[in-house]
Chain A
């Protein structure tokens, strides 16, 4: 696929799943969001401001920074809690944040969504026996997440492909403009639980049809 992919792996307790994934997703989105664009006449624009906010975790010794946008937080929280519910205790799962671009197509085809960066967070859940272990785990996970955050920042600092800044008419193809106070790159969050990692029937069928159509 013509798309970068980064994988982050964390091992956490069941109750830490939500916070850990939230921390990582928010960290990535913090760097992949801008202020709202205000377009001016001659094809120029100015960028609004973005507020940030420190969030302390309850179950992990960790504090992370996120964009202070309630709306964005709500969207992500919803996805993450679905993921958490689907994930059984001591199971494995993967939640991924995919940044994509839209490409307008002509009539018979629908718009294409072309991903350009995918972050996959692989979560494995462990069960701990006693309180002492939990305490250690709490610190350990905090440290680990700190490392991951630095990891994310390193990746983002690399000078790599980002969609070009769009003109006013194209802004919807690159940025998610539905939020009032912040404007992240278009993204979607999907998750998979390990049992269903194989290709599903529908994708196979789609590929089969596509392949028979292709030359």
Chain B
């Protein structure tokens, strides 16, 4: 058999048909859950904590910071009580004689009362005990919160380390965008959120900022009662942390709030059927919370005082000037916040605007006060000088009673006076400063432009940018005022609030209920006066005021370049970007005079960059560059610009820019140079993102956003000038439909009429502020009439004001915001061609008429 050959061969056993036994069953390999972060229950809280930990620079920093805070609190309370009760001041002031056997020196321990006396002191004083109890409760609350937080954040820490693969030491140097990108990355494998395969940036923002978006939208639609017209103080804003806390308690998380949990609005509030009943219920809830506030008022007051004392004494001691300094008010933060803007983004934006804003406010120092302050400072200074000179000669002078204290007092007096004396070298250029501020804060009411020099504008701006001292004072007053506002103002709005939440809540899969404004959908919430003409289908009630939707959208798209917006939105963004780029290019290469005659605002960016107020300098620069072939006259121009540039944060950039320009011999074209730079920058953020680190990117992004914000505002201004009456009428109408009474929108017409005393010379009859506000509430016909009158008056007064503005500005040269945004030498090589092309400066004068 062995030699027998055949083609038949034994088949290799590729299968076995033996009966299935134990070992041959279908086997599965479990994947197991490799990490514990698949499917997290409360993503809102989770993302918030991830964000917080990132903002607090890692676990250790957070832990240490909180521990020290606790210790500090304990120390301050203990020390204050000790000072008040356990020190024998008679001994310190040497009013009481201490008899010592060994020496006559008084030692510190002599002044301290023995323990039993001390504790008796404390026991006798009911107020001290009250304070002690409250701060004890406060401290315990903080302690419990601290312990709870440690447990929660420990988990987040391990999430960072194990899932995101970021160690705590590198966290402070990672941007939020990086963290976010990693979260999006791990969603793909871990499915943190089970609803969708992939998370977007917007989802994460929505979850972190769910309630903040609602608050921003409510402030935007003037739903919250935070603006009041008071008899003496006039139009004022009151919005404190206490009030904010109460609003949030009522709407979002308190017992019986509108929200069922972090992510969903209660079902009954989504249906319109029983809105009246719900409004009643809300009103009674607000009433109860108001009453509770009233009852707790003394406790909260003491708490606030202690809190203010603990938090601010140290600061005041360290830099006494800080009380005179200003800060962005809570209302300002709400008003200026974009939809979907995280805290750090807002803060960096506002901090950039801080310098310019305080400069702007300092422009308005009262001349009367200045004169007084100068003289007081003179007399106090001479006294002080004599005292100091005497002390230097012989220090025994210090031993004379009250010499040391009078030296101190005089010093303080001089410091205070000095704050009322404006900087000698400061130039009054509010319009320009306001433009710089706008570049950073991105929002301002329409009527500020062109009226920057008026006191009303300053007053309104101070509502956004208040004195720190005022801020603290308001916080202290808040426990008393909050219940009043809740009971008398908020309660009346309960129906509107119910309607607001019903109309502006959308359920997004994978996110839950969010504010529909935060979707940044131009079609639903765009405002026709803000570039979304034709794209928006929003009724007046639905339109976000002040171009919030459009600006927020741009902001979000720029800060999150990887975000894929829906299609129409992409269209809007790319269109706008393209226009800005074109304008930027056009600004430097405007060779066609006819482009100016077009109705389309062609050279907007040029105007933005140069600033209407700085046309003088442009003119000057251009002329010299024409005549002197761009070399001779320019260094002076450039340096002038640099010295006047209000953006000090970008001064060094500017410096490098002008240096680069000087090197390339094109100093004269600093303006257009920065125009091209702007273009480079913006294209940078979209095209170079691979090469640039995200930090650099985010720096570019803020610049790009500023340009876009200015561009949108500029366009809006031109557009709204075109059909002013309609626009105002709309705003008014929107007011009526939403029926919000004390807001800036409504007050706008009246302030406007107050703004222009000059226009009284015009034939148009002037409705008084009172009349206009009554017309708003009464019949539509009257309202329209009033509006017509006002708008016509506005049309008259507009050019007048502008004329005034431009007339003054030729002297105050300088240039505006973008001045410093040019970056390094790349730009200078880039704009050679456009600069050479553009030789005709004839069209510059028309700019003046166009833009201003």
Contact = CB atoms under 8 A, between A and B. Distances in A.
Interface of A: 1-4, 40, 43-47, 101, 103, 106, 108-109, 112, 114-116, 160-161, 163-168, 170, 199, 204-205, 207-208, 211-215
A212 B145 contact: yes
A116 B194 contact: yes
Contacts of A164: 30-33, 38
Contacts of B26: 46-47
25 contacts: A1-B42, A1-B512, A2-B40, A2-B41, A2-B193, A3-B41, A3-B194, A44-B29, A45-B28, A103-B36, A114-B41, A115-B41, A116-B39, A116-B194, A161-B39, A164-B33, A165-B32, A166-B30, A166-B32, A199-B256, A207-B253, A208-B254, A208-B255, A213-B144, A214-B149
A141 to B, nearest CB: 26
A185 to B, nearest CB: 13
Identify which of A160, A161, A215 gathers the most chain B CB atoms within 10 Å of its CB: A215
B280 to A, nearest CB: 16
Given A2-B43, A45-B27, A215 B36 contact: no
Contacts of A161: 39, 191, 194-195
Interface string B283-323: 00000000000000000000000000000000000000000
B145 A215 contact: yes
Contacts of B747: none
A165 B194 contact: no
A80 to B, nearest CB: 24
Given A2-B41, A2-B193, 10 more contacts: A1-B41, A4-B194, A46-B26, A46-B27, A101-B39, A164-B38, A168-B30, A199-B260, A199-B266, A204-B255
A13 to B, nearest CB: 26
A1 B266 CA distance: 13
A2 B42 contact: yes
Contacts of B25: 46
B721 to A, nearest CB: 47
A208 B248 CA distance: 12
B145 A213 contact: yes
A211 B248 CA distance: 11
B52 interface: yes
Nearest to B192: A2
Contacts of B194: 2-4, 116, 160-161
Nearest to B193: A2
B195 A4 contact: yes
Given A40-B27, A204-B255, A167 B32 contact: yes
B254 A167 contact: no
Q: Sort A-B residue pairs by CB-CB distance and give the 8 closest, nearest first.
A: A161-B194, A167-B32, A114-B41, A46-B25, A165-B30, A213-B148, A204-B255, A164-B31
A40 B144 CA distance: 47
Interface in B254-275: 254-256, 260-261, 263-264, 266
B45 interface: yes
A215 to B, nearest CB: 6
Interface in B160-219: 191-195
Interface string B5-35: 0000000000000000000011111111100
A133 B191 CA distance: 49
A45 B30 contact: yes
A46 B33 contact: no
A132 B29 CA distance: 57
Contacts of B43: 2
Contacts of B36: 103
Nearest to B249: A211
Interface in B498-540: 512
A116 B42 CA distance: 12
Given A116-B39, A204-B255, A1 B29 contact: no
A170 B33 contact: yes
Given A4-B194, A204-B256, A207-B261, A114 B28 contact: no
Contact of B263 (A1, A165, A212): A1
A213 B266 CA distance: 23
A147 B192 CA distance: 33
Contacts of B38: 163-164
B207 to A, nearest CB: 10
Contacts of B94: none
B344 interface: no
A166 B30 CA distance: 6
A116 B193 CA distance: 10
A215 B27 contact: no
B620 to A, nearest CB: 55
B141 interface: yes
Nearest to B254: A208
B39 A165 contact: no
Contacts of B52: 215
Contacts of A205: 255
Interface in B88-126: none
B781 interface: no
B151 interface: yes
Given A164-B38, A213-B148, A1 B28 contact: no
A164 B38 CA distance: 9
B31 A165 contact: yes
B264 A44 contact: no
A172 to B, nearest CB: 13
